[in-house]
Structure 1
Amino acid sequence: MQVPKSKRHPWKGTERLHNLQITPPTSPKYRKKKKKDKEKIEVETRKRQREKNSDFQLKKIMFLEEASQQEELAKEWCFKPCEVRELSNHEFFMPGLVDTHIHAPQYSFAGSNVDLPLLDWLTKYTFPTELKFQNIDFAEEVYTRVVRRTLKNGTTTACYFGTIHTDSSLLLAEIADKFGQRAFVGKVCMDMNATVPEYKETTEASIKETERFVSRMLQKNYSRVKPIVTPRFSLSCTDTLLNKLGSIAKIHNLHIQSHISENISEVEAVKSLFYDYKNYTDVYDRNNLLTDKTVMAHGCYLSAEELQVFKERGAAISHCPNSNLSLSSGFLNVLEVLKHEVKIGLGTDVAGGYSSSMLDAIRRAVMVSNILLINKINEKSLTLKEVFRLATLGGSQALGLDKEIGNFEVGKEFDALLINPKASDSPIDLFSGDLVGETSEAVIQKFLYLGDDRNIEEVYVGGKQVVPFSSSV
Structure 2
Amino acid sequence: MMSSNESAAGIAHVYRGTFVHATYHTAVEILEDRLLGVDTEGKIAFIGSGKEVDRLSQKWGFEAFAVTQLGQHEFFMPGMVDTHIHASQYSYAGTALDMPLLQWLNMYTFPVEACYKDLEFARNVYTHVVKRTLRNGTTTACYFATIHTDASLLLGQIANDFGQRALVGKVCMDTNNFIPHYKETPEESEGETNRFIGELLKKKYPLVRPVVTPRFAPSCSAALLGYLGEIAHNNDLHIQSHISETKEEVNLVKELFPDYDSYTDVYHRHNLLTDKTVLAHGCHLTDGELKLFRETGASIAHCPNSNISLCSGMLDVRRVLNHKVKLGLGTDVAGGYSPSMLDAVRRTLDTSKALTIQDTQYHTLTFEEVFRLATLGGSQALSLDENTGNFEVGKDFDALRVNTDAAGGPIDLINHGEGPKVLLEKFLNLGDDRNIVEVYVAGKRVVPFVEGP
Same-fold status (TM-score > 0.5): yes
Q: 205, 212, 215: which is aligned to 2:198?
A: 215
Amino acid across the alignment from 2:443? G
Residue 379 (structure 1) shift: 2.3
The residue correspondences of 1:218-257 to structure 2 (distance < 5 A) are 218-257=201-240
Residue 83 (structure 1) shift: 2.4
1:306-360 Cα offsets, whole Å, 9 max, x none, are 0000000000000000000000000100111111110000000000000000000
1:169-206 Cα offsets, whole Å, 9 max, x none, are 00000000000000000000000111100100001100
CA distance in 2, matches of 1:366, 1:63: 34
Q: Is the 8 A contact 1:101 1:347 kept in 2?
A: yes
* Alignment match, 1:48: none
The number of aligned residues is 426
Amino acid across the alignment from 2:359? K
1:376-422 Cα offsets, whole Å, 9 max, x none, are 18521000000000000000000011111111111111000000111
Q: 302, 309, 326: which is aligned to 1:319?
A: 302
What SS does the aligned partner of 1:62 have? strand
2:168 equivalent to 1:188: no
Q: 382, 398, 409: which is aligned to 1:415?
A: 398
Structure number with larger C-alpha Rg = 1
What SS does the aligned partner of 1:73 have? helix
Amino acid across the alignment from 1:269? L
Q: Larger deviation: 439-448 or 394-403?
A: 439-448
Q: Is the 8 A contact 1:90 1:435 kept in 2?
A: no
Residue 62 (structure 1) shift: 1.4
Q: Which ranges of structure 1 fall in alignment gaps of 5 or more residues?
A: 13-54
Q: Is the 8 A contact 1:9 1:85 kept in 2?
A: no
* Alignment match, 1:270: 253
Residue 435 (structure 1) shift: 2.5
1:241-262 Cα offsets, whole Å, 9 max, x none, are 0000000101101000000000
1:247-289 Cα offsets, whole Å, 9 max, x none, are 0101101000000000110000001111010110000000000
Q: Which has the larger share of helix?
A: 1
What SS does the aligned partner of 2:407 have? coil
* Alignment match, 2:186: 203
What SS does the aligned partner of 1:163 have? coil
Q: Which has the larger share of strand?
A: 2
Q: Is the 8 A contact 1:93 1:417 kept in 2?
A: yes
2:80 equivalent to 1:80: no
What SS does the aligned partner of 2:300 have? strand
Task: Report the TM-score, using the length of structure 2 for normalisation.
Answer: 0.92
2:239 equivalent to 1:259: no
Q: Is the 8 A contact 1:7 1:86 kept in 2?
A: no
CA distance in 1, matches of 2:361, 2:346: 18
Residue 11 (structure 1) shift: 4.4
Please provide the CA RMSD for this pair.
1.3
What SS does the aligned partner of 1:65 have? strand
Identity %: 58
* Alignment match, 1:114: 97
Q: 255, 258, 273: which is aligned to 1:290?
A: 273
Q: Which ranges of structure 2 fall in alignment gaps of 5 or more residues?
A: 1-27
Residue 431 (structure 1) shift: 2.1
CA distance in 2, matches of 1:133, 1:82: 50
Q: Is the 8 A contact 1:246 1:289 kept in 2?
A: yes
CA distance in 2, matches of 1:450, 1:378: 28
Amino acid across the alignment from 2:91? S
Q: Larger deviation: 423-432 or 238-247?
A: 423-432
Task: Report the TM-score, using the length of structure 1 for normalisation.
Answer: 0.88
* Alignment match, 1:384: 367
CA distance in 1, matches of 2:132, 2:357: 35
> What stretches of structure 1 move > 4 A for 4+ residues in a row?
7-12
Q: Is the 8 A contact 2:38 2:397 kept in 1?
A: no
* Alignment match, 1:446: 426
CA distance in 1, matches of 2:50, 2:272: 48
CA distance in 2, matches of 1:442, 1:183: 31
* Alignment match, 2:417: 435
